[in-house]
């Protein structure tokens, strides 16, 4: 266990290297190792006495493909940042970019996946900007150990990466030396179906923006009705109708209850983006599907609920049209690539679709 936090990183950016930390075998198996960083007390006050942590997982194959420590340190780093109700399990993504010469790391943010601790509400923060600490620590560690870093953010993680990098960019332009050092190590940003706008109908969006902030002041832990469409998980997991074998404790099919204070925090972060005052300041690629769908299921003759075929070929969580419309808010020069037939997590789409996505990222990073 390593102790680091935002204050220590800003006092000495890239002072501690990722290679100085101790790693242990990870649940993903051979070639995967993890290290845990203790960040201190939870600013949201959950589980007093239990520090929040962030977990970094790296892919470093052993044997003849491992290479020397110096060669590994000489690789640019890639940091995969998950979405809401999610964690890092994307071995095929790690192995693809490892073959391209990247040192690939995944992060489980505080209270998510490997970083959840007893007494904590899964995935809960009252402000998405709280994750700036996790990401600053990760960026500092990777920047000290590798020549550059490419953050790859998915869904809510795409919003978090966008705003984190944009805040670093703004601070650097104001003359903040420490944040300027952190921004300077970022080579590019890749966004995988980022959450850049509220995807609901007009009335629901009004309630979220205008009513829920008042509710959150008096009842911050009130559970918001609804949540992730369970059909999405059923199109993914190998024990349902999908291809992927992952820990359903960390990424359940049914949504965990979300507190109103969490949703208000997301809404406020999106509203900040839509002021138009932010930009990543680095080459940025946005990947998304060509369209969305409700993600319905139908009953088969045996009575089993089966996802409709369209659910395997569309984004059933967010609206790609909103992502494309908001791309200029991420950065004026943001490159948008629409991947026909892609699911919400583009890299979990069917093989031929995700190959198209890989080709787009490979060409962009070139």
DSSP state for residue 255 in the 8-state scheme: P
pLDDT at residue 226, rounded to an integer: 77
pLDDT at residue 146, rounded to an integer: 98
Is the distance from CB of 79 to CB of 88 less than 8 angstroms?
Answer: no
Q: Which CATH number fits domain 2-198+269-295+317-365: 3.40.50.1820, 3.40.50.1000, 3.30.830.10, 3.30.70.1170?
A: 3.40.50.1820
Residues whose CB falls within 8 Å of the CB of residue 147, separated by 6 or more in sequence, listed in order:
74, 75, 76
Tokens of 121: 């509400």
CA gap 43, 126 in Å, rounded = 9
DSSP state for residue 233 in the 8-state scheme: H
Residues whose CB falls within 8 Å of the CB of residue 49, separated by 6 or more in sequence, listed in order:
none
Q: Which residue ranges make up each domain of the chain? A: 2-198+269-295+317-365
DSSP state for residue 211 in the 8-state scheme: I
CA gap 124, 35 in Å, rounded = 22
Query: pLDDT truncated to tens, each residue of the chain (366 aa)?
Result: 788 889 999 999 999 999 999 999 999 999 999 999 999 999 999 999 999 999 999 999 986 455 688 999 999 999 999 999 999 999 999 999 999 999 999 999 999 999 999 999 999 999 999 999 999 999 999 999 999 999 999 999 999 999 999 999 999 999 999 999 999 999 999 999 999 999 999 999 999 999 999 999 999 999 998 777 789 999 999 999 999 999 999 999 988 899 999 999 999 999 999 999 999 999 999 999 999 999 899 887 777 889 999 999 999 999 999 999 999 999 999 999 999 999 999 999 999 999 999 999 999 999
CA gap 319, 200 in Å, rounded = 9
Residues in the chain: 366
Max CA distance (Å), the chain: 65
- SS3 state of residue 230: helix
Its pTM stands at 0.96
Is the distance from CB of 76 to CB of 113 less than 8 angstroms?
Answer: no
pLDDT at residue 25, rounded to an integer: 98
Is the distance from CB of 1 to CB of 36 less than 8 angstroms?
Answer: yes
């Amino acid at each position: 266990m390593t102790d680091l936090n935002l204050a220590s990183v800003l006092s000495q950016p890239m002072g501690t290297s990722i290679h100085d930390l101790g790693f242990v075998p990870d649940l993903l198996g051979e070639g995967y190792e993890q290290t845990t960083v203790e960040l201190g007390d939870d600013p949201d006050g959950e589980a007093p006495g239990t520090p929040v942590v962030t977990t970094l997982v790296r892919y470093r194959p052993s044997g003849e493909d491992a290479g020397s420590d110096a060669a590994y340190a000489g690789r640019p780093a890639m940091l995969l940042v998950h979405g809401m109700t999610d964690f890092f399990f994307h071995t095929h993504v790690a192995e693809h970019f490892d073959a391209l010469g990247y040192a690939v790391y995944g992060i489980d943010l505080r209270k998510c996946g490997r970083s959840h601790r007893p007494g904590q509400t899964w995935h809960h923060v009252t402000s998405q900007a709280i994750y700036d600490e996790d990401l600053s620590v990760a960026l500092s560690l990777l920047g000290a150990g590798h020549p550059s870093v490419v953050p790859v953010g998915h869904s809510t993680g795409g919003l978090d990466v966008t705003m984190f990098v944009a805040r670093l960019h703004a601070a650097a332009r104001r003359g903040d030396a420490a944040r300027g050092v952190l921004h300077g190590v970022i080579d590019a940003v890749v966004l995988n179906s980022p959450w850049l706008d509220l995807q609901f109908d007009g009335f629901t969006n009004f309630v979220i923006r205008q009513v829920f902030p008042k509710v959150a002041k008096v009842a911050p832990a009130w559970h918001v009705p609804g949540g992730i469409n369970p059909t999405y998980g059923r199109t993914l997991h190998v024990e349902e109708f999908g291809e992927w074998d992952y820990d359903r404790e960390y990424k359940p099919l049914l949504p965990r209850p979300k507190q109103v204070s969490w949703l208000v925090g997301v809404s406020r972060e999106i509203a900040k983006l839509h002021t138009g005052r932010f930009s990543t300041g680095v080459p940025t690629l946005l990947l998304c599907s060509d369209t969305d769908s409700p993600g319905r299921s139908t009953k088969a003759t045996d009575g089993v609920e089966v996802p409709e075929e369209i659910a395997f070929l569309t984004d059933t969580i967010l609206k790609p049209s909103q992502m494309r419309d908001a791309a200029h808010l991420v950065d004026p020069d943001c490159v948008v690539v629409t991947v026909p037939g892609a699911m919400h997590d583009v890299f979990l789409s069917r093989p031929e679709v995700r190959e198209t996505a890989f080709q787009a990222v490979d060409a962009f990073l070139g």
